[in-house]
Amino acid sequence: MSYLVVAVAVLVMISVLTSFRPSTRQKHLVILRRYANERGLHVEIVADAVTDQKGSSPTAVRYLLPWTAQNIRHDDQRHWLLVQGQRGKLSPWEGWCWFQQEAPKDCHSAIRRALDKMPKSVNAVCSNSFGLGAYWPEKGKVDEIDKIADGLRIISRNIKTE
């Protein structure tokens, strides 16, 4: 009987210790987020770009390219949100809609080029007072972060700084 109690106690200890080890998915997220940081992107856990019909706000991950000193001037024209789906005002790109405010027309060609460059799994692109962001479910490989960073930089270079 005492051997059984000792065996159960050992099994409980082993299960507790193994639960502290990160899963394969968690290790992958650490790799992705570190690489994004090396590319100059900030990774933020934020409310979803568009809340669902119930009004709840599930968490999402936004990869943000912060504004630099040369493009630090912010105005209301810089605040826009482009989402994949059918909610909002139609945009020039199939499958994408403006939610809230539309980007200035002189940014549209850069946004098109950025959307072509970014992974298809990016489900929203935004501009706000912190920088340019891409909402991405983090289900890809490290090279997709390069595509996201390059796409956001395409838009950033196009934004007027006057």
72: left (phi over 0), alpha (psi -120 to 50) or beta: alpha
Place of tokens 């080890």: 21
Query: Distance between CA atoms of 47 and 56, rounded to whole angstroms?
Result: 9
Residue pLDDT, tens place only, 66-100: 987 665 555 545 789 999 988 889 999 999 999 98
Query: Distance between CA atoms of 79 and 10, rounded to whole angstroms?
Result: 57
CB 97 within 8 A of CB 91: yes
CB 127 within 8 A of CB 78: yes
Place of tokens 């395409």: 154
Residue pLDDT, tens place only, 98-155: 998 899 898 999 999 999 999 999 999 999 988 999 999 998 899 999 999 999 999 9
Mean pLDDT is lowest, of 7-11, 14-18, 23-27, for 14-18
What kind and span of H or E run contains 128?
strand 124-128
Query: Distance between CA atoms of 115 and 6, rounded to whole angstroms?
Result: 59
Place of tokens 């909002």: 88
Reported pTM: 0.80
